[in-house]
Amino acid sequence: MLDHMGFGVSDYQRCKAFYEAMLAPLGVTLLMEPMEKAAGFGQDGKPFFWIQERPPAVQGGLHVAFAVEERETVNAFHSAGLQAGGTDNGAPGLREIYHPDYYGAYILDPDGNNIEAVCHQPA
């Protein structure tokens, strides 16, 4: 089981604002900035998703999926990601190729990484 993950970004302020907006519908918030140009996002006081401006930034090679309990949250995540400047990489919908109840949406972050919200609950 993963405890946390982190990766380098090309523009800290831009990516921090993007992730603050896109992760809000999931209940994931910015919890700490323990050093310059590094942010920990999480829930219940525990950061588990980290970004830090450092070369080389991960660009286009990363896929992160956040599990949620409701399909409406997937929809809100996708909308927030677009409003925050992300690029649509797969509108909310069923992905039955993975599982009959796999409902997900994909957004490319400012560095082109694929960020997903997925719900495994039946409709």
pTM equals 0.94
At residue 38, the pLDDT reads 98
CATH number at residue 113: 3.10.180.10
Task: List the domain range (segments joined by +) for residue 89.
Answer: 5-119
Rounded to 5°, angle at Cα 73 from 113 and 7: 25
Say how far apart CA 36 and CA 105 lie, in whole Å.
Answer: 31
Q: How many domains does the chain have?
A: 1
Written as tens digits, the pLDDT of the chain (123 aa) is 889 999 999 999 999 999 999 999 999 999 999 999 999 999 999 999 999 998 888 888 899 999 999 999 999 999 999 999 999 999 999 998 888 999 999 999 999 999 999 999 998
**Contacts of the segment 39-45: beta carbons below 8 A, 24+ positions apart:** 39/12, 40/4
